Amino acid sequence: MKCLTTVFLLCISITVFSQTNFQGKAVYQSKTTVDPNFGGKQLSEERKKQILKRMKNMLEKTHVLSFTRSKSVYKEEEKLETPGTRGGFRFGGFTGGGVLYKDIIKGDLLESTEVFGKKFLITENEEKPKWELGSETKQIGNYTCFKATLLKKTTAFDWRNMRRRNQKDENKKDENKKDTSNVKKVIDDVEIPKEILITAWYTPQIPVSNGPGNYWGLPGLILEVNEGRTTVLCTEITMNPSEKIEIKEPTKGKEITREEYNKVVKEKMEEMRERFRSRREGNNRGGRSFH
């Protein structure tokens, strides 16, 4: 029965794919959850709620993927600020947004983004991701989707995958640590895993090897991605719209490779951390009294 279903879906895919004006748009909603105990006992529950409210625009986003057979543009959809979150919450100076262009035939990715007040044009050439295809299926809207998994390396500043350190390790560290000021930074409580397991759901009914963000390489459009604490779900698809879709490469920003970009961000974050440490130590010295 499963084989017949697969053959039927492939027949539909071939019919759609054979259309000369094959193109479409897919809307994705992404949501990132955070550890409800972030900050530990250092922050009150009321303060945590205030921070989460201000982080809402960063944790919940809407993107639109415009695609043809071989190319796509993935762009964040602009939205009005939620009352009470004016200015939003910026993590480490990031402003977010940007445009991601993909050429899945050549494996070229081109991302225009702004970070720390500077615009960059990140260029990279990726090999086809080594997905492990599964037989499990589920329905997403009107589409039958198949499961695929991928082991992905993380970067040292991937805040979405931050997690609290192992409590046993923390207790041992605290025992060996002599801190007369009895002050502990929140950032010391978190860590980022070196790699995470990505789960994707793709549909052969839309035969493009594409998907949200930098995910691609499956025999069908990816409709859902689960990456650590982040879930990206397709909520709307428009195939062959009456208005022709134009896929343009982004051109704004200083051209830089992904490796160079990661190095710049890492250095900036280390600078910010040092400034934070210096400010904190200055406040501690200023608050001491001498007899």
Do residues 92 and 101 lie in contact, with contact meaning Cβ atoms separated by under 8 Å?
Answer: no
Mean pLDDT (10-residue bins), the chain, 291 residues:
44 46 92 70 71 73 95 85 46 59 94 88 92 97 97 69 52 46 47 82 96 95 94 96 90 91 85 77 57 44
Q: What pLDDT sits at residue 98?
A: 85
Q: What pLDDT sits at residue 157?
A: 58
Bridging pattern class, strands 221-227 and 143-153:
unpaired
Do residues 42 and 186 lie in contact, with contact meaning Cβ atoms separated by under 8 Å?
Answer: yes
For the entire predicted model, the pTM comes to 0.73
Q: What pLDDT sits at residue 166?
A: 57
Backbone angles phi, psi at 8, to 5 degrees: -65, -45
Q: What pLDDT sits at residue 150?
A: 95
Closest CA to 199 of 156, 230, 236: 230
Do residues 113 and 122 lie in contact, with contact meaning Cβ atoms separated by under 8 Å?
Answer: yes
Which residue's structure tokens are 């859902």? Answer: 224
